[in-house]
Amino acid sequence: MNPKKSEKLHYKFENFMAKGGRSIFISLLILFFGGFLLVGLIRFATTLIFPDLDPFSSFFEHIWLTFLEMTDPGNMARDTDHSAVYKVSGVLAGLIGVIIVSMLIAFITTQLERVLRNFRRGRSRVLEQGHTLILGWNERVVDIIRELIIANESEDDASIVILSEEPKEDMDDAIQAAFPDSKGTKIITRHGSSARLIDLARVNPSKAKSAIVLASASQSETFDEKQASDAHTLKTLLAILENDPDHSINIVVELLLEQNRNVLPVFNSDKIISLNSWDILGKLIVQTSITSGLSVVYNEILSFDGCELYIHHDDWKGLSFYELAYYLKDGVPLGVCRADGKITMRPEKDFQLEETDHVIILAQDDSTIELADKSLVEDSDLIFSEKQSEPLNTKRQLIMGWHTVVSTIVNESVDYLGEGAQIDILTHEPTEHVKQEFEQLKALNSGVKMNLIDADALSIKSLEKANPFTYDTVILLSQNEGKADIERLDAQTLVTLLLLRTLAKQHPKEAQSTKIITQILNSDNEELMTQADVDDFIISNKVITQLFAQVSENPEMLNVYEEIFKEEGSEIYLKPLDLFLADFSREFTFGDLMMAAEHREEICLGLRLDEHANDPKKNFGVILDPPKDQRFTLTAKDSLVVLAEDAE
């Protein structure tokens, strides 16, 4: 059946109108001028039929009056003294004008609101260059921005661009609340999906200096949710490479599943870096449980505020690695990166530097790393200690809470604690899935005793029955698995911590030898944890986001941190000063402390003053990389921060 002409016309008109605002505007203009032409023809016909009634000397005046009556019906009053036929045409012009002009005004208002709404949504193309690109939005964003602002303080035109499916207004409000003063760093947000080429192109990825791709799920969520997050991350990675075919920018991606991290070599790019954030966090928690104060050291090293690690090249003037330490005006050498990319932390005593070597240096800033013409440290009559450290006393460990990081903590703890240790895990009403995972973990670590304890960490009676102060270390993790509000989880963690402190006051003698390590999710709650008199704490978002920010700025640093975090090789420890020195009757320079550590074939990064160990305003007593001539009055209770083979 062939369509009628009316159907064809209706179909074409419908398709024309479906094209959007432009078609509607053109249609309204045509309608307006059609009505204007109709009224004009009526007045023209009236002048021909009744020439004696024509009030004007020219027809142009009729046309002008018709236009005025259509655009402003108040002009109909100008036809009051004219004949009835002109009054009828004036009324007709006013009615047509009111209808069509109202439609035009409504359309223009709607379109203007849409334009303003698109501005608020961030639809325009970003013109920044050399910016840091953050793709996605999760609880890490604020901490990452905070670190990047600190890193950009010395730059004149620094910018951070965020592309997320979060509403732009919500992102802007959160950023404004967190950073009323961004210290010269522009923070630009755009709404859209990072996995869509058209959206990603708007944030100018090919001109960015680095990109950070955040996961949309957490490590504690279900396998399907983590798989969906990783799929979106990999799709985003493909979109970035499509916009940046030369692989010119550094890309740090957060993948939650090991199987998905293993596919990254397919992209054949050394610019793509994946961080297993929870694995790193688990290792840091264990290292902190072994060495009190270590979290403070890592918080400073990983932050752009304070001391940082740099990979530096210079004319080494034929110096050996350990001689170099005393020639640096600022900085402590920790390791060497050879031309073939091999990293050696804390090399052998007679390690000679080559011209092509890059040295890993802890310093206040890379601009302050400079070699002096002669040694800045004079030989001193130090009396070195011959005291031997006692074997690790930490043999019983209680982990409170259950999520993915538990497996890393257990595996790392076994490496440190050795055979015969006991690791118990306390969680409330464990599911069958948790019980199965626990049995698998227990089977993989048959050299240690393991128990799964069903107890409510939010009940003081349940906690008391668990006898937490019979353990050397209590590691307090977030208590829930799956999606949950991080503020609520942190509140539960804080309640458990306060309950533990209440029990500690009731049993002061037993609690004295137990160290409590607390993990929180929101770094803004750090001060609350400090007020709770915690011996040591790990801020998961803060530590990991610091690492994200550092690696995005300096990708080569990831290999350095991996060397430090792993159990094999050299790691950072805090060791009592009486292991290094036997006489405390004099003042010591930092250069003296470096020589004392070198005597034990260790590298001194700084020190911890025991009198300030519980004072957050004094950085818990930790001082890293002070001037080599700075003098300290020390006691046997103070500690050195050292890079060493082991904790003993």
Which residues neighbour 240 within 8 Å (Cβ) at sequence distance 6 or greater?
135, 200, 205, 211, 213, 249, 251
Per-residue pLDDT at 225: 87
Tell me which residue range forms the domain holding 507: 396-539
593 belongs to a structural domain: no
Domain boundary among 274, 309, 338: 274
When pLDDT is averaged across residues 598-625 and rounded to a whole number, the result is 89
Count of other CB atoms within 10 angstroms of residue 416: 18
CATH code of 243's domain: 3.40.50.720
> Does 116 share its domain with 138?
no
When pLDDT is averaged across residues 576-603 and rounded to a whole number, the result is 90
Q: Is the pLDDT of residue 122 over 90?
A: no
Per-residue pLDDT at 615: 80
Per-residue pLDDT at 134: 94
**Who wins on pLDDT, 418 or 293?**
293
d(CA 385, CA 603): 16
**Strand ranges in 410-506 using DSSP code E only, listed in sequence order:** 422-427, 449-454, 473-476
DSSP state of 468: G
Query: For residue 521, how many C-alpha atoms fall within 13 Å in the half-sphere facing its CB?
Result: 21
The single-letter code of the amino acid at 388 is: Q
The SS3 call for residue 541 is: helix
Adjacency order of strands within the sheet including 422-427: 449-454, 422-427, 396-400, 473-476, 515-520, 536-539
The single-letter code of the amino acid at 545 is: T
pLDDT single digits (tens) 214-268:
988 877 677 888 899 999 999 999 999 888 877 788 899 988 888 888 888 888 8
Give the sign of the dihedral formed by CA 499, CA 505, CA 511, CA 515: positive
Query: How much of the chain exceeds pLDDT 70, in percent?
Result: 90
Average pLDDT of the chain to the nearest whole number = 83
> Does 98 share its domain with 139?
no
308 belongs to a structural domain: no
349 belongs to a structural domain: no
354 belongs to a structural domain: no
283, 566 in Cβ contact below 8 A?
Answer: yes
When pLDDT is averaged across residues 327-335 and rounded to a whole number, the result is 91
Whole-model pTM over 0.75: no
358 belongs to a structural domain: no
pLDDT tier, 26 (very low <50, low <70, confident <90, very high otherwise): confident
Q: Is the pLDDT of residue 504 over 70?
A: yes
> Does 227 share its domain with 177?
yes
384 belongs to a structural domain: no
Per-residue pLDDT at 212: 92
> Does 55 share its domain with 32?
yes
What is the domain count for the chain? 3
563, 335 in Cβ contact below 8 A?
Answer: yes
> Does 162 share its domain with 270?
yes
Give the sign of the dihedral formed by CA 92, CA 93, CA 95, CA 100: positive
> Does 146 share its domain with 37?
no
When pLDDT is averaged across residues 193-197 and rounded to a whole number, the result is 91
Per-residue pLDDT at 257: 86
When pLDDT is averaged across residues 309-319 and rounded to a whole number, the result is 90
When pLDDT is averaged across residues 380-385 and rounded to a whole number, the result is 80
> Does 408 share its domain with 506?
yes
Candidate from 162-176, 405-419, 626-640 with smallest mean pLDDT: 405-419
Per-residue pLDDT at 420: 75
Per-residue pLDDT at 534: 47
> Does 96 share its domain with 140?
no
DSSP state of 173: H
**Who wins on pLDDT, 533 or 550?**
550
pLDDT tier, 127 (very low <50, low <70, confident <90, very high otherwise): confident
Give the sign of the dihedral formed by CA 211, CA 212, CA 216, CA 221: positive
Q: Is the pLDDT of residue 434 over 90?
A: no
> Does 245 share its domain with 136?
yes
pLDDT single digits (tens) 61-85:
777 877 777 777 777 777 776 777 7
Domain boundary among 254, 274, 294: 274
What is the phi-psi region of residue 295: left when phi exceeds 0, alpha when psi lies from -120 to 50, beta otherwise? Answer: alpha
320 belongs to a structural domain: no
480 belongs to a structural domain: yes
Query: How much of the chain exceeds pLDDT 90, in percent?
Result: 18
Per-residue pLDDT at 618: 86
Tokens of 374: 């002669």
> Does 145 share its domain with 264?
yes
d(CA 215, CA 255): 7
> Does 202 share its domain with 250?
yes
Phi, psi (degrees; rounded to nearest 5) at 328: -80, 125
pLDDT single digits (tens) 448-480:
899 999 999 888 999 989 899 999 889 888 765
> Does 205 share its domain with 147?
yes
d(CA 36, CA 96): 8
Phi, psi (degrees; rounded to nearest 5) at 605: -95, -25
Domain boundary among 496, 518, 539: 539
